[in-house]
Structure 1
Amino acid sequence: MKTELIIDEQLNDDEIKIHTKTATVGARILSFIDHFTTDRENLAIRSDEEFLMVQKSDIICAEVQDKTLTISTKDDDIVTTKTLSALMEELQSETFMKVSKSGMLNIQMIDRVEPSFSGNLIARMKNGNKVSISRRYVSKLKERLGI
């Protein structure tokens, strides 16, 4: 991949332009930039009667079961009543991706992806968790991973 840095003083302070031939390369670049700029922020998650401060980059995956959300981090599993859509909105990051109606994952924490039955995929995360990717999200995940 050929890269080039061009300084354009006519751009606004918060403006960056990236030119790529394919959406896959663009998505990967945005994911890397996003990881280094916004994922260092903390997120307050209410669990029982306390608020836990979790660094966004420590979140591996999250899944809803029986109206409770379990957020898996590098160190712990946090159970909360927060909704998956509320969590995704708070994360607002290219690094995190919804992969089913009830699950999301941090694409930087994927160890490997394996085929499953009926067109689904299984993502094996760096902490050993398995996350099911429904057929509806398979193409989006492949695009984000560049595969």
Structure 2
Amino acid sequence: MEVEIKLQPGLAGPRAVIYCGEITPEVEAAAARLAGATRRLAGRREGRVYLLDPGEITLVTAEGQQVYALCQGERYLLKARLYELEAQLAGSRFARISHSEIANFDWVESLDMSTAGTIHLRFKKGGGAFVSRRYVARIKERLGL
């Protein structure tokens, strides 16, 4: 990606414009970083609050009324709702894969599409998650499959 910075004295705040021929995952990620969508998330574990870097989160999952982030083999309780996190992480490396899960595709090692109508994501650090049939078409489109 080509980057250019121009100084404009008197400008109230920084402004970024991305020129592109098509919207690619690289363009979406750059836009999300510039928009500040990658700010840290507060997660609770064992009575302590941790500031989580979204890039380190493998999977965000909802279980009952609780939302958890899986990050470096640990599970952190998040205060935000899943739909709020989906909006906050939109346009970046995250994608909704089921009614109760959002996956970080930077951590996806491979996709197993041998079962008809579903996709099983395998993560680099172990574990996995299934893409529900409802979201398979969106994931395939996003990945260019």
Pick from 116, 121, 137: which aligns with 2:135? 137
Unaligned runs of 5+ in 1: 21-25
Shift of 1:125: 1.1
Paired residue secondary structure (1:18): coil
1:13–1:40 Cα change, 3 Å: closer
**Equivalent in the alignment of 2:68:** 70
Unaligned runs of 5+ in 2: 7-13
**Equivalent in the alignment of 1:60:** 58
Question: Any conservation in 1 of the 2:32–2:90 contact (CA below 8 Å)?
Answer: no
The number of aligned residues is 136
Matches within 5 A, 1:23-62: 26-34=23-31, 37=34, 38=36, 41-47=39-45, 49-62=47-60
Question: Any conservation in 2 of the 1:35–1:57 contact (CA below 8 Å)?
Answer: no
Q: Report the TM-score when normalising by structure 2.
A: 0.75
**Equivalent in the alignment of 2:80:** 82
Shift of 1:127: 1.9
Paired residue secondary structure (2:135): helix
Pick from 7, 16, 19: which aligns with 2:21? 19
Greater RCO between the two (CA within 8 Å, min separation 6)?
Answer: 1
CA RMSD of aligned residues (A): 2.9
1:36–1:86 Cα change, 3 Å: closer
Shift of 1:6: 9.5
Shift of 1:35: 7.0
Mapped partners of 1:34, 1:106: distance in 2:
16
Paired residue secondary structure (2:24): helix
Question: Any conservation in 1 of the 2:122–2:129 contact (CA below 8 Å)?
Answer: yes
**Equivalent in the alignment of 2:10:** none
Paired residue secondary structure (1:119): coil
Identical-pair percentage: 20
Q: Report the TM-score when normalising by structure 1.
A: 0.74
Shift of 1:57: 0.6
**Equivalent in the alignment of 2:106:** 108
Question: Any conservation in 2 of the 1:39–1:55 contact (CA below 8 Å)?
Answer: no
